Amino acid sequence: MNEPENLHLSQEAVAQKHFLTLHFSHKGQQKTIHLRIRHALAFCAATAIVLSSAVVSAGAYQKTKAELVLSEQQLLETERTNRKLEQRSEILQNENEQYNQNIEEIQNKTTELEQKMNELETVKDSLHDRINIINTDDTSADSSSAEVCSAMADALKNPVVATPKFTNIVTTSYDRAVSLSTQLDRMNLLMDETGVSFHAVAQDVTQTLAAYSNIPNGKPIDSDLISTEFNPTGDPAISDGRTHKGIDISTAHRIIPVMATAAGTVVTSKFHDGYGNYVVIDHGNGFTTLYAHNSELLVNEGDWVKKGEVIAMTGSTGMSTGIHCHYEIQLNGVYQNPRDYF
């Protein structure tokens, strides 16, 4: 009785040392697994460690996630700032390009105005000098022409030109460029208006000077009918092939005025068997002109004539087959083609 009791007590003591006992069958054999208290404690400790690690990891994850969201917001804000800076940079670039264009336009306008002013000044000085020469040297010119020339000379010497008034230039460089451009536009308009008035005066002066020009220019009669061309060598391919040192201008059987083609002194005014009634004018610069076959001579030797002044009437005197004007030009004794001076 004592041994079974002791065995039973022994088993109870062992059982008391175990926290959990598991029974299971494996390959027909019964097996038993005893979990002691220390094993349960170790399992609980491990579980606690795992749970603690999970909690810490979850906290770290949430913190990282929050930091990531904040970083994304900061990145978006940085991108918005960059876009604003790019837009501002583009605006500044456009303003700079427009400013450069305005500066270039100002430079071009300034150059153009300077050229206009120089051209007007040069023409004015030239006309003034020419008129003064006519007034001082041309003793044969009539008094009315001299008075006209003197008046024109005074007008050229002291032109009445309105002084442009400018407004205050604004402060910024961009607006200053625009304002200066506007002022230059006004100056350009003023120069154009001055040029128009100057052109009117210059045209009158040019017409007056043309009357005293000593270079042949234009036709001696009001007709475009050329009956015989210039042929000093007798080229058979030209007209009728005979030598012809001038040009014949037909009048269609009309008697019309013959005019001097340049200012000068009459050196010949008489009859010739071949030329008939003819006039020779010396223009004083190597040029001489001849007008032949006239029906009537209206100037005498020694007379000073202006360009366009009537010196004879067309006719058919001398060796002529019809009413026309035979016109010759010589330069330093060399015959010239009158067509080159039309």
* Dihedral pair phi/psi, residue 234, rounded to 5°: 70, 35
In a domain, 333, yes or no: yes
* pLDDT score at 176: 58
**pTM of the predicted protein model:** 0.46
pLDDT over threshold 60, residue 167:
no
Structural domain includes residue 110 = yes
292 located within any domain: yes
Predicted pLDDT at 96:
76
Is 80 inside any structural domain?
no
Of 182, 211, 240, which one is at a domain's C-terminal end?
211
Spatial separation of the C-alpha atoms in residues 146 and 150, rounded to whole Å: 6
pLDDT of residue 145: 54
- Are residues 253 and 284 located together in one domain of the fold? yes
How many domains, the chain? Answer: 2
More confidently predicted of 63 and 159: 63
One domain, residues 237 and 277 = yes
Residues 183 and 234 in one domain: no
pLDDT confidence of residue 93: 82
Are residues 234 and 134 part of one domain? no
Better pLDDT: 135 or 9: 135
Q: Domain of 248?
A: 225-341
**Do 136 and 201 fall within a single domain?**
yes
| pLDDT tens digits, one per residue of 77-130 | 888 888 888 888 888 888 778 777 777 777 777 777 777 777 777 776 776 676
Q: Are residues 131 and 189 in the same domain?
A: yes
> Considering Cα of 5, then 10, then 16, then 19, what sign does the dihedral take?
negative
My answer on whether 187 and 295 are in the same domain is: no
Residue 42 or residue 296, greater confidence: 296
CA 320 – CA 272 distance, rounded (Å): 12
- Enumerate the β-bridge partners of residue 244: 231
pLDDT, tens digit (0-9, with 9 covering 90-100), for 45-64: 888 888 888 888 888 888 88
- pLDDT for residue 38: 72
Average pLDDT over residues 226-244: 89
Which CATH number do you get for residue 273?
2.70.70.10
Identify the weakest region by mean pLDDT among 32-46, 210-224, 225-239: 32-46
Picking from 233, 225, 226, 258, the residue whose alpha carbon sits closest to that of residue 335 is 233
pLDDT reading at 73 higher than 50: yes
Q: What is the mean predicted confidence (pLDDT) over 302-315? A: 96
Contact 301, 268 (CB under 8 A): yes
Task: Please indicate, yes or no, whether residues 282 and 184 belong to a single structural domain of this protein.
Answer: no
Domain boundary among 211, 245, 264: 211
Model confidence at 218, pLDDT cuts 50, 70, 90, reads very high
Q: Do residues 206 and 142 both lie within one domain?
A: yes
For residue 302, being part of any structural domain is answered with yes
Question: Does any domain span residue 26?
Answer: no
Per-residue pLDDT averaged across 312-333, rounded? 95
Out of 188, 211, 234, a domain closes at 211
The pLDDT assigned to 294 comes to 97
Residue 242 placed within a domain = yes
Predicted local distance difference test score (pLDDT) of residue 7: 44
What are the backbone dihedrals phi and psi of residue 236, each rounded to the nearest 5 degrees, phi first? -65, -15
% of the chain exceeding 70 in pLDDT: 68
In a domain, 258, yes or no: yes
Least confident of 62-66, 248-252, 292-296: 62-66
pLDDT at 18: 56
Give residue 165's pLDDT.
47
Give the pLDDT mean for 324-333.
96
Is the same domain home to 251 and 206?
A: no
**pLDDT (0 to 100) of residue 189:** 74
pLDDT of 131 over the 90 cut? no
